[in-house]
Amino acid sequence: MYQLRASTFFDTAIPETGPPGCHVRTQVLQPGLEVSLVSFDATRNLSISTIDDSSHLHFSCMLNGDVDVRTGQRGLRLGQNQLMASFAPAERFELEFAPAHRNLELRITPQRLHELAGDDYQRLGDSIERSFYLQVSHGNQRIKDAALRLERLLGDETALPLLVHSATLEFLAWHLKACTPQDQGERVSKREQRLLLAARERLLMDLSAPPTIEQLAREIGLNQLKLKRGFKALFDTSIYALFQRERMGKARQLLQQHGVTDTASMLGYSNISHFSAAFRKQYGVLPRDARKGALE
C-alpha cells in the first residue's frame, strides 16, 4: 500500500509522488483554491493510504471506475458520477482504486470558501467547526456537465485559465448546493436512507418506463408521503425532477449516435414534440440543435 500526503500527491511540481500508473494534473486557480484531474492506467487495483495534511475541503466527482474508501470505522464504495464532499484535517483515508479510475477533485480552504460562497457557506459551516464532514451523494446533471467540461479543459494544455477558473466555480457551486448539512441529513433515519437509495435505483432502472409513485412506494415499503418527503430531504429534489433530469441526461448521450425520433422512442416517448419540450426545458435548446453541437 502506498503512503501519501495530500499536499504532495496533488502537487504536479513534485515528480513521482504517486504510485505507478497514477497521473495527476493540477491547476492552482487562486490561493486556497485548486482543482485536479486524477487518472489511473494500471491493470489492477491500487491501494493508497493518504492523510489530509492541508486542512482543505475536498469536493470530488467520480468520472470512471469504482473506489473503496475507508476512514476510521466507516467504509463506502463510490461509483461513476457519485460525489464525495469531505473535510477531515489530519484524518487518514484508505483508498482502493479500480483500474482505469478517473476522478475530478476540487480543494478549497474554509476561508476561501467563505469568501466565495457567502451565505451558502453556512450549509457546511457547523461541520467545518467540528472539523469533520463526509457526505456521498449522486451527481445531478448540472454537476455532471460541469465536471465533464472541467475534465476537457484540464486535459487541454491550450485552455484559457479564465475558462478553467469559470468551470471550477460552476462545479463548486453545484456541488455545494448538493451538500446536506449534517443535522438535516439526520432527520432521515438510517433505515429510510437505505430504502430511499433502493427507491432511487428502482426509479432509474428503466428510463423509458418509470414506475408510478404508488408502485414505487409499494415496492420499496414506504408510504407515499414518506417517499416524497424523504426524496426531497436526502436528494434535494422531487421524484419526478430526478427522473426527468436523468432521462434527459441519457437523451443527451443518445443524441450523439441517434436521431431525434429514435432517441425519443428509446426513452419511451410516443410524441416527439413532448420529448423536444422536455429536452428544451432541461437544456435550453432543442434536441436537433444538440445534435449539431449546441451543448458542446
Consecutive 10-residue averages of pLDDT for the chain (296 residues):
79 66 89 92 83 87 88 78 87 86 93 87 72 78 88 91 94 84 57 89 92 94 90 82 90 92 95 94 88 73
Give the pLDDT score at 29: 93
Give me the pLDDT at residue 140, please: 75
Percent helix, strand, coil in the chain (nearest 5)? 45, 25, 30
Q: What pLDDT score does 203 carry? A: 94
Question: How do beta strands 33-40 and 46-51 pair?
Answer: unpaired
Gyration radius (Cα) of the chain, Å? 20
pLDDT at 99: 83
> How much is the pLDDT for 187?
61
DSSP conformation letters of 180-206? --HHHHTTS-HHHHHHHHHHHHHHTS-
Pairing, β 46-51 against β 2-5: parallel
pLDDT of residue 184: 46
- Topology of domain 2-180, CATH: Jelly Rolls (2.60.120)
Residue 71, H or E segment: strand 67-71
C-alpha cell at 22: 497514477
pLDDT of residue 16: 58
Contact (CB, 8 A) for 12 and 18? no
Q: In what order do the strands lie in the sheet with 92-97?
A: 2-5, 46-51, 92-97, 67-71, 74-78
pLDDT value, residue 186: 45
CB 68 within 8 A of CB 75: yes
Q: Are 22 and 67 in contact (CB under 8 A)?
A: no
How far is 100 from 102, CA to CA, in rounded Å?
6
Task: Look at residues 240, 266, 272, 273 and name the one whose alpha carbon lies nearest to residue 251.
Answer: 266
If one looks up domain 245-296 in CATH, what number appears? 1.10.10.60
